[in-house]
Structures are given as C-alpha cells and as structure tokens.
C-alpha cells in the first residue's frame, strides 16, 4: 500500500451558506451554521486516506471541546491519532467559512494550536519516512516546522510535496530555503504570481520559472480551467473536468491529497495531476471540505464517465 505522511493543520470548520458574499460593512443573513473538521493538513490527510494511501498525520489541537471533536473525527477516518499533539491552555484552530449560491467562498482562519506545532512535536516523524513515502506540507503551521519536516524527509529519501498555501504576505526569506527541499510545489494562480514575482499569466512559463526557485516540479491549479505542471521535460496542460460546482472549499485539498496518493502509488506526475484534477472537481459538487472528499471508488467512477479527460 502506498504511504503518505502529512504534517499540517487541524481545524474545526464553521461554515454558513449565504445568497451572496458580503461586501465590506454589509451584513448578510445565512443558513444554519455547520461545524465540521477541517484544516488544510487534515483535509489532505483524509483525502489521501480515502483514496487508498496508508496515511499518517502530524498536527496539533487545543485542550478544548473542538480539539476533542477533531481528534474523534480523525480517528473515525482511520488516521492513527498518536501523532496528534494536544497543546494545553490553547484553543484548537478554527476556520470561518462563508459560501455563496455560486459555490464561491471566503475563509478566515484562527490558527490556535496550529501555530504551536513545533519541531518538538515531530520527534517520531523521521521513523515514519523512507524512499517509499510522500511527505505533504502546507503553510497553516509555522514555516520553521515545515522546513524541519522537509529536512527529515530529505535525509530519509522521501519525496516532499509542498502546497504553498496560505502564502504569507510578504513572502518570508525562509521560503527560499524550504523550496530547495521540495520535489513537487503545488500553488494556485495567486500564489504562483506572488512566488515568482512576475505579472505574466502565461501559466506554462510561470510553472517553468517556479522550478528555478528549487522544486523539481511545479503544479499550478487553475480552478475551472484545470491545472498545468512543469518538470524537467517541460510544461503540460491538464483541462478541467466539467461539473456543476456547489462549494469550492475542499477542492484544493482534494487535489493535493489525490496527487500525493498517486505519487506514493508510483504513478507519474502527469497521471497524479490528472487524478488531482478529477478529485478536485468532484469535491466541488458537495458542501463542506472533508465531507466532500471522494473515495477511490467514487473517483474511479467519475473518471470513467470522462474518458476523454482521464489520461495525461
């Protein structure tokens, strides 16, 4: 079985559907609030696990009710809870999510315990890594922790996938060091532009340029236009799978989890990106983040319904 290790954030998502996203100073009446487990790290770990990868998850929660809820949800997903650190006297991370009738969203994250996931909490990480492992990182935890995890992966011969989101503003100097420890960089359009410091929207050119910052390969996700990836052989465009989107909240994490699971399974980067595009599209057809993440069987059926788009 393929092996994925995720080091990242764990939140409780508080989501509400509204007819339209509020403008500054505007109050909009929404529907009933929904509380669900989330966080980019947790979402990506669940995504990889549902797609068949043997997945471990290193994260931190607070010693509050939300932390207990997140721990229970992680366990219910089949993720071993022993690498989930509880930080005393600290609140669990919370994401406030507003989704409009078109499926677009705004998200505000209060990091809580995620900001206290330090290298000390990764003492068991090196023993979980090896040449057959894909390590997945994001930026909802301290950058120093990401760098420490990436260095552990390098020493163990594991591959590193970095989803550089949310990207700090301004981009800290330590990001340059982290990128040199990355095998596959995954960014959206805005993150790609900010990292490259270039105004171009020629995404193939930009993906190639981002490789010069250190990663062996770069993937730029383009929402309803699919994705593009660049590696040593050049750039490849991947059209999107057509869907009727109702909520885009979990799409990016579904993409990353599917990509990591595919790479851990020995698939090519091109095939991993195709699976990521399909998983991301499928996630937009359901409300929520983790509740929208597809299983392996669901993803296979979805791809079978779109044979013209399922091969790189």
What is the average pLDDT across 37-56?
97
What gap in Å lies between CA 205 and CA 196, rounded to an integer?
11
**Res 310: pLDDT:** 67
Q: Which two tokens stand for residue 28?
A: 């909009």
Other CB atoms within a 10 A radius of the CB of residue 126 amount to 15
Kindly state the percentage of the chain with pLDDT values over 90. 88
Q: Which of 116-125, 192-201, 213-222, 257-266 comes out lowest in average pLDDT?
A: 192-201
> Under a CB-based contact definition with an 8 Å cutoff, are residues 67 and 86 in contact?
yes
pLDDT at 164 over 90: yes
**Res 288: pLDDT:** 82
**Res 289: pLDDT:** 84
Other CB atoms within a 10 A radius of the CB of residue 213 amount to 16
> Under a CB-based contact definition with an 8 Å cutoff, are residues 293 and 50 in contact?
yes
* 214-256 pLDDT, tens digit each: 999 999 999 999 999 999 999 999 999 999 998 888 899 999 9
pTM for the whole thing? 0.94
**Res 87: pLDDT:** 97
Closest CA to 55 of 44, 67, 64, 63: 44
* 67-76 pLDDT, tens digit each: 999 999 999 9
Q: Which residues are catalytic?
A: 253
What is the average pLDDT across 37-55?
96
- Per DSSP, the three-state class of 250 is coil
* 97-146 pLDDT, tens digit each: 999 998 888 989 899 999 999 999 999 999 999 999 999 999 999 999 99
C-alpha angle 112-118-122 in degrees, rounded to nearest 5: 125
> Under a CB-based contact definition with an 8 Å cutoff, are residues 163 and 256 in contact?
yes
What is the average pLDDT across 279-297?
93
What gap in Å lies between CA 30 and CA 17, rounded to an integer?
6
What is the average pLDDT across 157-174?
95
What is the average pLDDT across 271-296?
94
pLDDT at 199 over 90: no
pLDDT at 165 over 70: yes
> Under a CB-based contact definition with an 8 Å cutoff, are residues 49 and 26 in contact?
no
* 203-220 pLDDT, tens digit each: 999 999 999 999 999 999
**Res 1: pLDDT:** 58
């Amino acid at each position: 079985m393929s092996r994925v290790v995720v080091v990242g954030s764990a939140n409780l998502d508080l989501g509400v559907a509204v007819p339209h996203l509020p403008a500054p100073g505007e109050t909009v009446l929404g529907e009933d609030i929904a509380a669900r487990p989330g966080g980019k790290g947790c979402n990506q770990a669940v995504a990889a696990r549902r797609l068949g990868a043997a997945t471990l998850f290193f994260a931190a929660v607070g010693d509050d009710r939300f932390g207990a809820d997140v721990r229970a949800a992680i366990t219910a997903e089949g993720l071993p809870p022993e690498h989930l650190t509880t930080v005393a006297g600290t609140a669990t991370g919370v994401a406030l999510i507003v989704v409009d009738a078109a499926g677009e969203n705004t998200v505000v994250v209060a990091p809580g315990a995620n900001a206290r996931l330090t290298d000390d909490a990764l003492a068991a990480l090196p023993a979980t890594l090896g040449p057959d492992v894909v390590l997945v990182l994001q930026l909802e935890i301290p950058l120093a922790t990401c760098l420490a995890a990436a260095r552990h992966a390098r020493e163990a011969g594991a591959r590193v996938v970095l989803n550089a989101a949310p990207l700090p503003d301004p981009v800290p100097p330590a990001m340059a060091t982290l990128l040199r420890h990355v095998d596959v960089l995954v960014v959206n359009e805005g993150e790609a532009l900010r990292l490259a410091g270039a105004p171009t929207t020629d995404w193939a050119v930009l993906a190639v340029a981002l490789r010069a910052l250190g990663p062996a390969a770069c993937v730029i996700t383009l929402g309803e236009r699919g994705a593009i990836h660049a590696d040593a052989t050049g750039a490849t465009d991947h059209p999107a799978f057509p869907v009727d989107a109702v909520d885009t909240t979990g799409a990016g994490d579904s993409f990353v989890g599917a990509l990591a699971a595919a790479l851990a399974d020995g698939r090519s980067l091109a095939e991993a990106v195709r699976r990521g595009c399909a998983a991301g599209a499928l996630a937009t057809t359901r409300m929520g983040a983790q509740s929208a993440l597809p299983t392996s069987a669901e993803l296979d059926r979805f791809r079978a319904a779109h044979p013209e788009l399922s091969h790189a």
